[in-house]
Structure 1
């Protein structure tokens, strides 16, 4: 008798912090062994989640019933990977799927991520400039030009030392940046530009990069 498979609800994280919008969750029960249809259902769920996250992540569309937040989109991608892993452990995934996953889906996910970030740069900067008049914020996160969302990220500083970037939700957060954090943020927002020696100059440049007119 085949070993029972975990229920999809245990593979896909649910909870109040996970906004799935109109996605069909939880997914239907998995077949045993995992079938090609199961794999494609998981792939389609992850693809839809990434697409809805990109289309409805813009500030004006957060109230859309289709809105999927980052936590839910990430959970869908993890669900896809878990289903594929189960398939690999029970019966190898079809060669065509492995090739498609490597060549197409992963590229699509990255493209959606990059497009979303590039769209959000002017929107978030404009929000921080025109909507939030108070230095107390809250400011929206402005991605780096390379599509990295910096808040909470560990990035390489000027000497290659990893620096965890704090969120810049208000002017005080920028003022409180350490020299290393200010350098890392400057490198992110102004790639290829020499880092100013004076920390305050870096902070002024960071404020301008996130839309604060100083």
Structure 2
């Protein structure tokens, strides 16, 4: 575990596996972990209750990240919509940057960590997979939770989110120029995590 700040930035589209990989990397190296998507999901969740999106972002508390319904499809769509609002993103930047530079190191996953939030991160990964593979993963996840969705609906949602995230004017989703690309389309979770760990291991500071 690093004694000084050491930031791992992991970006990528929905259901590519970045959350699982991020948690695994954090556990392997004893780093703190922040799923930055939860920030936007928490803001999106409040907008579903009628709260203004900018107001929700500016008043967001850590406790709101622990809500149990932040993984629903409705909240995911709301999160994607508020994430295109520059004032929302600005309100959440300081929280993310402070977390990233904490002593002992941190792993942050999202869509603009390596490009906007932590452009000087020691490690940058861009985790991706084909839309069809990601949609199937998300469908199986939702189906296991009893959601009434079809594969066609989930694929359409995945493509819609990809388009919106990539086209937004504020911090569009894209790989940083110096990010390592990790395509998980044909990889098991174990293999994808092993590759990510190998990338981080090479960048860790050598102890005196």
Range into which the TM-score falls when normalised by the shorter chain: under 0.3
TM-score by length of 1: 0.24
TM-score by length of 2: 0.24
- The higher radius of gyration belongs to 1
